[in-house]
A and B are shown apart, each in its own frame.
Chain A
């Protein structure tokens, strides 16, 4: 019995160790590549711990002295931030009343499912006409266009998550407020939203991550630093004259930091938000 338990403990810790290594190893290597010299990375046998940590790529990417590389990276960072924040804000503002409507006024499920279905259709189903429209309006290569297009991805998602979270906010307080003569919007603003605050935060962050990650539309609708987002810029960096693996890795590390920090900070909320919003009816 005792041996059995000990064996189980050993197996458990071995499995956990394997999990930790498999999760961290690729990320560790990405970090190592970003601080290693090109010569060190082509050495055989490969060295797993760099002899020197060279952070020059990072300074090259974020300092004024970095020239065109920095210009491209910082513009992409700015565009990504603008697009992600703006589309998240719009999606939240439109999703809150919609989610409230779905939650408090039964019926119209078809509309909800319709929106969810649109979210799930592949982007290629919309990309061509949107391309023709945007080009007709001279709005290609424009951050604003990306914001609008991303709303169609974020909005069904945020509506869905918020609806499920609003369902869990007790109705009776709202009823009392209604009797006191508050309008619907007033009730949402003063009663429902404060009660659903954590869910609101989680939903907004999810939306932000979705926008931060989007690649397909951005690839097709943007041409240069005026509108290119980080994913497209990273793909550019990784192709063509791409011998400096260290630089590409450094770009990757910097682009991964915001979502990873957000993910870590809000890990608990994210998990509960995910189950409540993403997978429950």
Chain B
């Protein structure tokens, strides 16, 4: 018995080996190295690195650019994920209704989701152009807007325009999950609820919601983690401007390391950012565990 169990254990680890080698080789060591770098004054070129303890962290936390970018990142994450949830659920429900052309409409949902992020960002940047952009043209020609205006150049609205671009591409992911989980809610549950005299709203609340809650909440946490890392959309659409109003955390890290050449404090920024992500990831793992326990 003992040796059979050991053999099984060996087999289990053996099968894991290729994956572990790659993951540990390419991520574990760099991660530790980033942590180490964050305590040093390493820079590209220039003087040799010295141990500086927590100085990089203090400097980061007291740096207004870092604080502001954290604010921008949280705002971006919260607003875009909320919108993605609302729109995703709404469109998921919509496309779950029977209507002519349903298959076609569902296929459309895949398009924004499969569009490469960079292409999406570039497309929206051109659409949002102040002088010759299609958005201005559309709004003015339909009378919704009196005159052409600046979108990405206005600090009061630039972030919202970036969010529009991000939501347009990413809410279909939530909608796809919604659709799939709606189909997994057993039809007889609805029937039973109807027999019990439950109205449309009650059926939605007591049958649909519990059925889609779990996959949806996981999808939302996934989107949150992803949104928190935002870089490419902003890089193409605004480069962090106007007046730093769309500068996200990953942007600040990039700048610290590759524009200002301070690898050490760049690493500290990265670790702080990873720490916040880790909180979100812990939430995700906890949710998975809970689901695993319940099913």
Contact = CB atoms under 8 A, between A and B. Distances in A.
A44 interface: yes
Interface string B19-54: 110110011011101100100000000000000000
B85 interface: no
B207 interface: no
Given A98-B19, A118-B27, A231 B106 contact: no
B254 interface: yes
A255 B107 contact: no
B122 A280 contact: no
A120 B284 contact: yes
B110 A270 contact: yes
B241 to A, nearest CB: 13
A159 B117 CA distance: 24
Interface residues of A, number: 91
Interface in A102-128: 102, 105, 107-108, 111, 113, 115-118, 120-128
A203 interface: no
Contacts of B140: 45
A197 interface: no
Contacts of A102: 16
A234 B34 contact: no
Interface stretch (B75-83, B93-101, B150-158, B191-199): B93-101
Interface string B103-145: 0011111111111111100111111000110100110110000
A30 B118 CA distance: 13
Interface size band for B: 35 or more
Nearest to A41: B132
A91 B55 CA distance: 39
Given A101-B16, A113-B285, A116-B284, 15 more contacts: A16-B95, A23-B111, A27-B112, A97-B18, A105-B9, A116-B285, A120-B225, A121-B281, A122-B250, A128-B30, A128-B257, A215-B118, A238-B122, A264-B111, A281-B291
Interface of A: 12-13, 15-16, 19-20, 22-24, 26-27, 29-30, 33, 41-42, 44-46, 90, 93-95, 97-98, 100-102, 105, 107-108, 111, 113, 115-118, 120-130, 132-133, 148-149, 151-152, 155-156, 159, 184, 209, 212-213, 215-216, 219-220, 230-231, 234-235, 238, 245, 248-249, 252, 255-256, 259-260, 262-264, 267, 270-272, 274-275, 278-281
